[in-house]
Protein backbone atom coordinates (compact mmCIF):
# COMPACT_ATOMS: atom_id res chain seq x y z
CA UNK A 1 0.00 0.00 0.00
CA UNK A 2 1.33 3.45 -0.92
CA UNK A 3 0.93 6.24 1.56
CA UNK A 4 0.55 9.73 0.22
CA UNK A 5 0.92 12.97 2.15
CA UNK A 6 -2.87 13.34 2.07
CA UNK A 7 -3.22 9.88 3.65
CA UNK A 8 -0.96 10.97 6.48
CA UNK A 9 -2.88 14.19 6.99
CA UNK A 10 -6.29 12.54 6.96
CA UNK A 11 -5.42 9.43 8.94
CA UNK A 12 -7.46 9.14 12.11
CA UNK A 13 -6.18 7.09 14.99
CA UNK A 14 -8.76 5.33 17.16
CA UNK A 15 -8.85 6.67 20.57
CA UNK A 16 -9.18 4.94 23.89
CA UNK A 17 -9.79 6.30 27.20
CA UNK A 18 -6.32 7.43 27.71
CA UNK A 19 -5.36 8.15 24.10
CA UNK A 20 -4.84 6.52 20.76
CA UNK A 21 -4.69 2.79 20.22
CA UNK A 22 -1.02 1.99 20.48
CA UNK A 23 -1.10 -0.97 18.03
CA UNK A 24 -2.78 1.10 15.31
CA UNK A 25 -0.32 3.95 15.75
CA UNK A 26 2.65 1.58 15.72
CA UNK A 27 1.32 -0.20 12.69
CA UNK A 28 0.72 3.10 10.90
CA UNK A 29 4.15 4.36 11.85
CA UNK A 30 5.70 1.13 10.61
CA UNK A 31 3.91 1.51 7.27
CA UNK A 32 4.94 5.13 7.19
CA UNK A 33 8.56 4.23 7.92
CA UNK A 34 8.55 1.58 5.16
CA UNK A 35 7.03 4.01 2.73
CA UNK A 36 9.53 6.71 3.66
CA UNK A 37 12.36 4.17 3.32
CA UNK A 38 11.06 3.26 -0.11
CA UNK A 39 10.85 6.96 -1.04
CA UNK A 40 14.32 7.51 0.33
CA UNK A 41 15.67 4.62 -1.80
CA UNK A 42 13.87 5.98 -4.85
CA UNK A 43 15.29 9.43 -4.20
CA UNK A 44 18.77 7.92 -3.77
CA UNK A 45 18.37 5.87 -6.96
CA UNK A 46 17.12 8.95 -8.81
CA UNK A 47 20.07 10.97 -7.50
CA UNK A 48 22.47 8.26 -8.67
CA UNK A 49 20.70 8.05 -12.03
CA UNK A 50 20.82 11.84 -12.28
CA UNK A 51 24.55 11.78 -11.51
CA UNK A 52 25.09 9.09 -14.18
CA UNK A 53 22.97 11.10 -16.61
CA UNK A 54 25.01 14.24 -15.86
CA UNK A 55 28.24 12.31 -16.47
CA UNK A 56 26.82 10.86 -19.69
CA UNK A 57 25.62 14.32 -20.73
CA UNK A 58 29.05 15.78 -19.98
CA UNK A 59 30.70 13.01 -22.04
CA UNK A 60 28.23 13.57 -24.87
CA UNK A 61 28.93 17.31 -24.84
CA UNK A 62 32.66 16.60 -24.92
CA UNK A 63 32.14 14.21 -27.84
CA UNK A 64 29.97 16.79 -29.57
CA UNK A 65 32.68 19.39 -29.06
CA UNK A 66 35.31 16.97 -30.39
CA UNK A 67 33.13 16.14 -33.40
CA UNK A 68 32.57 19.86 -34.09
CA UNK A 69 36.30 20.54 -33.83
CA UNK A 70 37.02 17.57 -36.09
CA UNK A 71 34.48 18.78 -38.66
CA UNK A 72 35.91 22.29 -38.54
CA UNK A 73 39.44 20.93 -38.96
CA UNK A 74 38.29 18.73 -41.84
CA UNK A 75 36.63 21.72 -43.51
CA UNK A 76 39.78 23.82 -43.07
CA UNK A 77 41.95 21.02 -44.45
CA UNK A 78 39.57 20.54 -47.37
CA UNK A 79 39.65 24.25 -48.16
CA UNK A 80 43.44 24.27 -47.87
CA UNK A 81 43.71 21.23 -50.16
CA UNK A 82 41.41 22.89 -52.68
CA UNK A 83 43.44 26.09 -52.49
CA UNK A 84 46.71 24.19 -52.89
CA UNK A 85 45.32 22.20 -55.81
CA UNK A 86 44.13 25.43 -57.44
CA UNK A 87 47.54 27.05 -56.94
CA UNK A 88 49.29 23.94 -58.26
CA UNK A 89 47.03 23.93 -61.31
CA UNK A 90 47.84 27.60 -61.92
CA UNK A 91 51.56 26.85 -61.62
CA UNK A 92 51.23 23.91 -64.03
CA UNK A 93 49.34 26.11 -66.48
CA UNK A 94 51.98 28.85 -66.23
CA UNK A 95 54.76 26.30 -66.75
CA UNK A 96 52.90 24.81 -69.71
CA UNK A 97 52.42 28.27 -71.21
CA UNK A 98 56.12 29.03 -70.77
CA UNK A 99 57.05 25.70 -72.35
CA UNK A 100 54.66 26.38 -75.24
CA UNK A 101 56.17 29.83 -75.73
CA UNK A 102 59.67 28.30 -75.69
CA UNK A 103 58.65 25.69 -78.26
CA UNK A 104 57.09 28.36 -80.50
CA UNK A 105 60.19 30.54 -80.11
CA UNK A 106 62.48 27.60 -80.96
CA UNK A 107 60.31 26.73 -83.96
CA UNK A 108 60.42 30.35 -85.15
CA UNK A 109 64.21 30.41 -84.78
CA UNK A 110 64.45 27.14 -86.71
CA UNK A 111 62.15 28.53 -89.42
CA UNK A 112 64.29 31.67 -89.75
CA UNK A 113 67.45 29.54 -89.88
CA UNK A 114 65.94 27.38 -92.62
CA UNK A 115 64.84 30.48 -94.56
CA UNK A 116 68.40 31.81 -94.35
CA UNK A 117 69.74 28.48 -95.57
CA UNK A 118 67.24 28.49 -98.45
CA UNK A 119 68.28 32.02 -99.40
CA UNK A 120 71.95 30.99 -99.29
CA UNK A 121 71.24 27.94 -101.46
CA UNK A 122 69.33 30.13 -103.94
CA UNK A 123 72.23 32.59 -104.01
CA UNK A 124 74.66 29.74 -104.59
CA UNK A 125 72.37 28.40 -107.32
CA UNK A 126 72.32 31.76 -109.09
CA UNK A 127 76.11 32.01 -108.75
CA UNK A 128 76.58 28.46 -110.02
CA UNK A 129 74.20 29.03 -112.95
CA UNK A 130 76.08 32.21 -113.84
CA UNK A 131 79.45 30.46 -113.65
CA UNK A 132 78.15 27.47 -115.60
CA UNK A 133 76.68 29.78 -118.21
CA UNK A 134 80.08 31.48 -118.55
CA UNK A 135 81.81 28.12 -118.87
CA UNK A 136 79.36 26.90 -121.48
CA UNK A 137 79.69 30.17 -123.40
CA UNK A 138 83.48 29.77 -123.25
CA UNK A 139 83.24 26.25 -124.65
CA UNK A 140 80.88 27.48 -127.33
CA UNK A 141 83.42 30.15 -128.31
CA UNK A 142 86.08 27.48 -128.45
CA UNK A 143 83.89 25.42 -130.71
CA UNK A 144 83.28 28.47 -132.84
CA UNK A 145 87.05 29.05 -133.02
CA UNK A 146 87.66 25.46 -134.09
CA UNK A 147 85.29 26.05 -136.93
CA UNK A 148 87.20 29.17 -138.05
CA UNK A 149 89.86 28.99 -140.71
CA UNK A 150 93.38 28.68 -139.38
CA UNK A 151 94.37 32.29 -139.85
CA UNK A 152 91.38 33.54 -137.75
CA UNK A 153 91.90 31.09 -134.85
CA UNK A 154 92.81 32.42 -131.39
CA UNK A 155 95.84 30.75 -129.81
CA UNK A 156 95.01 28.01 -127.27
CA UNK A 157 96.96 29.70 -124.51
CA UNK A 158 94.73 32.72 -124.83
CA UNK A 159 91.62 30.53 -124.59
CA UNK A 160 92.98 28.70 -121.55
CA UNK A 161 93.72 31.97 -119.79
CA UNK A 162 90.14 33.13 -120.49
CA UNK A 163 88.54 29.88 -119.29
CA UNK A 164 90.69 29.20 -116.20
CA UNK A 165 89.02 31.83 -113.96
CA UNK A 166 85.60 30.49 -114.95
CA UNK A 167 86.58 26.90 -114.23
CA UNK A 168 88.07 27.76 -110.86
CA UNK A 169 84.81 29.55 -109.90
CA UNK A 170 82.67 26.58 -110.87
CA UNK A 171 85.05 23.91 -109.64
CA UNK A 172 86.87 25.39 -106.67
CA UNK A 173 89.12 22.32 -106.23
CA UNK A 174 91.11 22.80 -109.48
CA UNK A 175 94.70 24.02 -109.84
CA UNK A 176 96.05 26.68 -112.17
CA UNK A 177 96.38 24.14 -114.99
CA UNK A 178 92.69 23.17 -114.86
CA UNK A 179 93.25 19.76 -113.26
CA UNK A 180 91.61 18.67 -110.07
CA UNK A 181 93.75 18.62 -106.94
CA UNK A 182 93.90 15.30 -105.19
Q: Is 145 inside a domain boundary?
A: no
C-beta of residue 135 within 8 angstroms of C-beta of residue 170: yes
Position 40 scores a pLDDT of 85
Sign of CA dihedral 160, 166, 168, 171: negative
Tell me the residue range of the domain where 62 lies: 5-121
3-state secondary structure of 176: coil
Report how many domains make up the chain: 1
Looking at every residue in the chain, the average pLDDT score rounds to 84
Residue 82 in any domain: the answer is yes
Please give the residue that has the higher pLDDT: either 154 or 68.
Answer: 68
Q: Which pLDDT score, from 0 to 100, does residue 170 have?
A: 67
Cα(178)–Cα(159) distance, integer angstroms: 12
Tell me what pLDDT residue 182 has: 44
- Specify if 132 maps to a domain: no
Q: Is residue 27 part of a domain?
A: yes
**Residues 33-47: pLDDT tens digits?**
888 888 888 999 999
- For residue 10, being part of any structural domain is answered with yes
Asked whether the predicted pLDDT for residue 175 surpasses 70, the reply is no
Cβ-based neighbours of 154, under 8 Å, separated by 6 or more: 145
pLDDT at 143: 77
Q: Is residue 39 part of a domain?
A: yes
Q: What is the mean pLDDT of residues 121-136?
A: 91
State yes or no: pLDDT of 108 exceeds 80: yes
Counting residues of the chain whose pLDDT is more than 90, the rounded percentage is 47
Residue 21 lies in a domain: yes
- Decide if 91 is inside a domain: yes
Amino acid sequence: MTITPIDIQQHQFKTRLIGYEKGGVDHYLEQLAEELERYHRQVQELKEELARTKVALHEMRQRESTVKETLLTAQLITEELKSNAHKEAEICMAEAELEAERIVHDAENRRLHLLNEIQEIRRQKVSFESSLRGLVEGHLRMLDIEALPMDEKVPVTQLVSEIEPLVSEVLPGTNDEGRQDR
